[in-house]
C-alpha cells in the first residue's frame, strides 16, 4: 500500500484532484472509513446534517468536475435509497450485480 500513499500510482483520491483535469474519471461514491462525509445526503437530505451534506456535495463536485471527456459515478444503493437516488439523478443508469461476492478479495502482491 506504500505505493499509493507515496503517489506512485495512476489512481488518486478525490481530495487530491483539485485543480487537475483528467481525460476519464470514475468516482466511487462510498464513504469507506471517512466519517466527515455521507454521500447519501446528496440525494436524501437530513436537516440536522446540513453541514455534512454540503461537505459531501462539494467533494463530489470537485471529483466530477475534473473529467475532460468521460465521467462514471458509482454508488451501491440499498433498496430504500434507489427511489431517492433516481429522483435526484433521473438520467442515472442502473447496473445490477449478478451475485454477491462470498469470498473476500485477496490483495496479494500489493505492497
Q: What does residue 37 show for φ and ψ, rounded to 5 degrees?
A: -125, 150
Q: Per the structure block, which three cell numbers stand in for 79?
A: 433498496
Q: How confident is the model at residue 6 (pLDDT cuts 50, 70, 90)?
A: low
Interval 46-95: pLDDT, tens: 888 999 999 999 988 888 888 899 999 888 888 888 999 999 889 988 88
Q: Is the pTM of this model over 0.75?
A: no
Query: Which residue has 461537505 as its cell numbers?
Result: 55
Interval 19-52: pLDDT, tens: 778 888 888 888 888 888 999 999 888 888 999 9
Amino acid at each position: 500500500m506504500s505505493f499509493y500513499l507515496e503517489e506512485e500510482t495512476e489512481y488518486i483520491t478525490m481530495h487530491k484532484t483539485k485543480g487537475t483535469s483528467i481525460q476519464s474519471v470514475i468516482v466511487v461514491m462510498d464513504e469507506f472509513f471517512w466519517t466527515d462525509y455521507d454521500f447519501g445526503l446528496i440525494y436524501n437530505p437530513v436537516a440536522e446534517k446540513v453541514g455534512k451534506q454540503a461537505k459531501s456535495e462539494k467533494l463530489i463536485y470537485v471529483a466530477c468536475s475534473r473529467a475532460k471527456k468521460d465521467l462514471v459515478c458509482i454508488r451501491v444503493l440499498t433498496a430504500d435509497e434507489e427511489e431517492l437516488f433516481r429522483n435526484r439523478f433521473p438520467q442515472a443508469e442502473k447496473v445490477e450485480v449478478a451475485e454477491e461476492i462470498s469470498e473476500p478479495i485477496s490483495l496479494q502482491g500489493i505492497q
